[in-house]
Structure formats: C-alpha cells, structure tokens
Amino acid sequence: MYFTKEISNLCKKSLFQLENVHYLNCAYMSPLSRSVEEAGIIGMQRKRIPTTLKRIDFFEDSEKIRQLFAKMICVPDPYQISIIPSISYGMAIIAKNTNFQRGQNIVVTSEEFPSNVYTWRRVCQEHGLTLKMVEPDKKLNNYGRQWNEKILEAIDKNTALVTLGHVHWTNGILFNLKEIGQRARECGAAFIIDGAQSVGALPLNVSEIQPDALFCPGYKWLMGPYANGVGYFGSRYLDGIPLEENWLNRYPHKSDSFQDLVVYRDEYRPKAIRYDVGEMSNFILMPMFVRALEQLMEWGIENIQTYCRNLVNDKFINQMGELGFLVAEEDSRASHLVGIRLPENIELEKLRSILDKNKIIVSIRGQSIRLAPNIYNDEDDMNAFVDALRQSRN
C-alpha cells in the first residue's frame, strides 16, 4: 500500500495501548486513548472523597459536552444537545413525543440495528402503523445507489417517521441523508438519524441535513466510555416531555446552593436539556467523554475520514477483488466502515481461525466482514488483514 508522509504523520497509534494486536473493529467498540483513560482514573480518585465535589461539578462537564458535540455536528445552539445513555433511550423519547395516527407507516432500512427497530415495532403494534423495512437487491454489484432510491420511494404521505443511520452498521453502505431528509419533510414525516456508525469519523452537518433528531453512543466512533451518549433535537421536539422526571432536568443550574431543591418546579430546563438522563453528572464517565470529544476535535473529523480513505485505498480494494472478496464502490460507502462480501465458497471457520491466530480483530456480520479502521491503525494492520484473507483462500 502507498502511504504519503503527511498521512503517516496523522497516525495516533502511540496514543493508544494497542500493542501486539491489529484492532480493526471500531464499529464494535473503540479503544480508549491513554488521555481518556487518565480522565477516568482522575474521576475515580475525585469520587473517592465526596467532599472534593462541588455544585458546579454536577453541571460543568455536561455543558462542555453540549458545546463540543454541537460544534462537531455544526449546530449553533448547544442547548439542542442532551446527555443520554444510549440510542434506544433517544428513540424512546421520540416515540413518546410523536403524534402517531392509525394507518400511518414508519420507514427503516432492512437489517437495521435492533435499537432502531424494537421501538418502532412497539409503536406500530400500539398505534396501528405499518413498519416498512426497505431492503436492497444485494445481487446488484453496486446496490447502495439502488437502496437509496428505494428508501425515497418508500416515503409517502402516510409516513409518520423515517429513521436510519448515515452508514449502515453491517456493510458500510452510505445513505444520502440530505435527499432522504428532504423527502421526509415534503411528506410531513419526522426524520431521525442513528449516528452510531458515523459521527466522529465521518463529517455530518446537521444544519444542512436538517434532521428532527440525531443520536450517538459515546463508545464507538466518539471514542468515549460505554453508557454515555448524546442526542440532538430539532425544533419539532424541543418542547416535548422527557422519559424521566429528575431534578437535573428541572433544577436551574445557576442556583447558589442545593437547598432550594425542596421548592418544586413544573418547568423544565430549556430545549433539549429536559431530555437529560437521570444522574447524567457521572463523575467518572463524563470527564472521559469530555476528553474523548476534545481529542476528536483536535484531530479533525475530516482528517479522520481522509486517513481511513488512505487506508482503504485502491490497492487494497484491488487486492480484495483478486481474492474474490467484493467491496462497494467508493461513492456508495464510507471509508471508516467497509463491508467486504465473502465469496460463496469461503470456509468461514477457517477464516475466523486465521484471523484469531494473527490477532486481527474484525466483526463478521452475515456474509460480510465489517472492517472498521480508525486513526490508530496503520499500513501494517491493513497488510496483516489482506494476508489473512489470502491464507483463507489457499
């Protein structure tokens, strides 16, 4: 493979503890950088003695996260960002605050991640809606374009809600969110994005795409801890009812003391802050999440995608083809999450054994290998992966 000096200098492997392993599986879970790990250790040490915690510690990190994530997705107002624990939590908020009518439909992609399916199956059962799961024709060489077209065709005047990822979680197919969002708005449907497999590695401009909501877990491409996440809410949902009635989504954070907690208030904190999960002030996880987002902003999301594009380069794609493995064309996929379709005659257990023996960590989803490199990977990792595939064909 060919790596320019400029691209090689971007590699951040030294900032992670990834010795003696080829970790190409960020779509499953990112490793923690040394600085994010250190932030967690400091958080544990601080929680060790509760008297060191101040009132501002309940709010300061959440405000930093709102500002950092808003900047990352090009949102001018950080108060449109909430602190959530998971994608399913965000979807449940949308389900609670959407006015569904019997006979409507909800559009999702086939083989969608369960957290973006189960909520809508329940909604359809309870409200008499139809769940449209749009499936591509995988027999086509480049089914990504056709899949986008079928999604647009599935959205009609009876569509209540459209929800999908920017990148499909099993195969890396890239969806045209701008066109899909425009079609949803034309039909009066809510447009919800699952950003789990894109935000943090692929630039996304919310002001341009105009979704009604976007949700991201922290432990994948945002490179933060597990059980932390963020949600963006557009104007359609800024006056909604939260899932929880906790003191943090009502209590005015500029108060001088906690003694006024016994003065109960009916009004929520402004905009999306009302949707913050209870105990969002986690004194260990939140500093880790802050550092993870700071780190990404320092590196630059566009730089990360460019770096991954140089890992998954033409030479790599050609080598896949020569071995009988298929990769979607560049305009139909992202570079940080690549679905590599397996040949029909592949011995799957043999391939798994070779990957394990060589300490190459990837995910196999269905009949595809999900390759998910990031800025801590290098040419050696990619060469090791290609060599393993070559061995599986001998």
Instruction: Tell me what the mean pLDDT of segment 295-320 comes to.
Output: 94
Statement: residue 158 has pLDDT above 60: yes
pLDDT category at 296 given cuts 50, 70, 90 is very high
The predicted structure's pLDDT at residue 1? 44
Task: Kindly report the CATH number assigned to the domain that includes residue 289.
Answer: 3.40.640.10
H-run or E-run covering 151? helix 143-154
Identify whether residues 289 and 226 lie together within a single domain.
Answer: yes
What percentage of the chain has pLDDT greater than the value 70? Answer: 96
* Helices (H) then strands (E): counts for the chain: 13, 13
212: Cβ–Cβ under 8 A, 6 or more apart, which residues?
A: 94, 190, 191, 192, 233, 234, 236, 237
Task: Kindly report the CATH number assigned to the domain that includes residue 333.
Answer: 3.90.1150.10
The predicted structure's pLDDT at residue 5? 53
Residue 37 lies in a domain: no
> What pTM does this model have?
0.94
Instruction: Tell me what the mean pLDDT of segment 267-273 comes to.
Output: 93
Higher per-residue confidence, 129 vs 247:
129
Instruction: Tell me what the mean pLDDT of segment 297-324 comes to.
Output: 94
Instruction: Tell me what the mean pLDDT of segment 23-31 comes to.
Output: 97
Identify whether residues 183 and 83 lie together within a single domain.
Answer: yes
Identify whether residues 202 and 69 lie together within a single domain.
Answer: yes
Higher per-residue confidence, 228 vs 255:
228
Identify whether residues 221 and 269 lie together within a single domain.
Answer: yes
Measured CA to CA in angstroms, residue 234 lies from 55, 113, 137, 156 at distances of: 30, 23, 33, 22
> pLDDT tens for residues 311-346?
999 999 999 999 999 888 877 899 999 999 888 888
Residue 30 lies in a domain: no
Question: Which of 298, 320, 349 lies at the terminal end of a domain, its last residue?
Answer: 298
Identify whether residues 78 and 146 lie together within a single domain.
Answer: yes
Quote the mean pLDDT of the chain: 93
Measured CA to CA in angstroms, residue 209 lies from 16, 32, 72, 234 at distances of: 33, 30, 14, 11
Instruction: Give the separation between CA 15 and CA 12, rounded to whole angstroms.
Output: 6
Instruction: Tell me what the mean pLDDT of segment 67-80 comes to.
Output: 98
Residue 139 lies in a domain: yes
Identify whether residues 307 and 290 lie together within a single domain.
Answer: no
Q: Which of 23-32, 133-142, 231-240, 336-345 has the lowest mean pLDDT?
A: 133-142
The predicted structure's pLDDT at residue 306? 94
Question: Which of 283, 298, 313 lies at the terminal end of a domain, its last residue?
Answer: 298
Instruction: Give the separation between CA 90 and CA 139, rounded to whole angstroms.
Output: 34
Identify whether residues 269 and 315 lie together within a single domain.
Answer: no
Contact 299, 75 (CB under 8 A): no
Residue 36 lies in a domain: no
Instruction: Give the separation between CA 230 and CA 216, rounded to whole angstroms.
Output: 5
Q: Is 378 helix (H, G, I), strand (E, B) or coil?
A: coil
Identify whether residues 261 and 171 lie together within a single domain.
Answer: yes
The predicted structure's pLDDT at residue 251? 67
pLDDT category at 255 given cuts 50, 70, 90 is very low
Residue 144 lies in a domain: yes
Statement: residue 13 has pLDDT above 80: yes
Statement: residue 70 has pLDDT above 80: yes
Statement: residue 252 has pLDDT above 90: no
Domain of residue 16: give its range.
Answer: 5-24+301-392
Residue 39 lies in a domain: no
Q: Where are the beta strands (DSSP E) in the chain?
A: 22-23, 81-84, 105-109, 130-134, 159-165, 190-194, 213-217, 229-233, 326-327, 338-341, 360-361, 363-365, 368-371
Residue 44 lies in a domain: no
Instruction: Give the separation between CA 208 and CA 280, rounded to whole angstroms.
Output: 29
Q: Give the orientation angle of helix 348-357 with respect to helix 379-392, to 10 degrees.
A: 140
Identify whether residues 184 and 98 lie together within a single domain.
Answer: yes
Identify whether residues 255 and 380 lie together within a single domain.
Answer: no
The predicted structure's pLDDT at residue 21? 96
Instruction: Tell me what the mean pLDDT of segment 296-315 comes to.
Output: 95
Instruction: Give the separation between CA 281 and CA 210, rounded to whole angstroms.
Output: 29
Q: Per the structure, how many domains does the chain have?
A: 2
Instruction: Give the separation between CA 200 and CA 217, rounded to whole angstroms.
Output: 10
For the chain, the first-to-last Cα distance in angstroms comes to 22
Instruction: Tell me what the mean pLDDT of segment 172-193 comes to.
Output: 97
Statement: residue 2 has pLDDT above 50: no
254: Cβ–Cβ under 8 A, 6 or more apart, which residues?
A: none
The predicted structure's pLDDT at residue 187? 98
Instruction: Tell me what the mean pLDDT of segment 128-155 comes to.
Output: 91
Nearest CA among 213, 158, 203 for reference residue 181: 213
Query: Which one-letter amino acid corresponds to residue 373?
Result: P
Identify whether residues 70 and 133 lie together within a single domain.
Answer: yes
> pLDDT tens for residues 79-125?
999 999 999 999 999 999 999 999 999 999 999 999 999 999 999 99
Identify whether residues 12 and 56 lie together within a single domain.
Answer: no
Contact 292, 68 (CB under 8 A): no
Residue 368 lies in a domain: yes
Question: Which of 264, 298, 332 lies at the terminal end of a domain, its last residue?
Answer: 298
Instruction: Give the separation between CA 186 and CA 178, rounded to whole angstroms.
Output: 12
pLDDT category at 142 given cuts 50, 70, 90 is confident
